[in-house]
Amino acid sequence: MSDCLFCGIVEGQVKGDVVYRDESVVAFRDIRPRAPVHILIIPRKHVATIQDLEAKDQAVVGQIFLVIAKLAREQGIAERGFRVVVNSGADAGQTVFHLHFHLLGGRHFTWPPG
């Protein structure tokens, strides 16, 4: 079994509330939601942080944004707007080191973030 939690969800060894999957991307609900809609979108391939992305990962990063747009429409948050967050590295507060995009919506967000 992988020692990466999110690889475990990709491989089905860890239970996840999966809302979308294709050949390169998986999306599942955050276990500790910070908004009415809080979904994590990840590459199937293990990449720890944005800093670890390589040129060959270009397509999956593009696909992730298309999946975010599709999920936002499906979840009814596209019209009013939503926030996409990537915590990349220690100073950003990243806790799970498998690159993930937080899709947050269904409430108003303030700026700047904490």
Q: Which residues are catalytic?
A: 100
Residue 39 makes CB contacts below 8 A (sequence gap 6+) with 19, 27, 28, 29, 30, 71, 75, 102, 103
Least distance in angstroms from the C-beta of 20 to ligand AMP: 14
Cβ–Cβ under 8 Å, residues 81 and 10: no
Give the residue nearest to Zn ion (CB).
4
Least distance in angstroms from the C-beta of 16 to ligand AMP: 5
Closest CA to 6 of 105, 95, 103: 95
By CB under 5 A, what part of segment 36-75 binds Zn ion? 46
> Which stretches of the chain bind ligand AMP, using CB under 6 A?
5, 16, 28, 30-32, 40, 87, 93-96
Among 72, 98, 100, 102, binds Zn ion (CB under 5 A): 98
Q: What is the chain's length?
A: 114
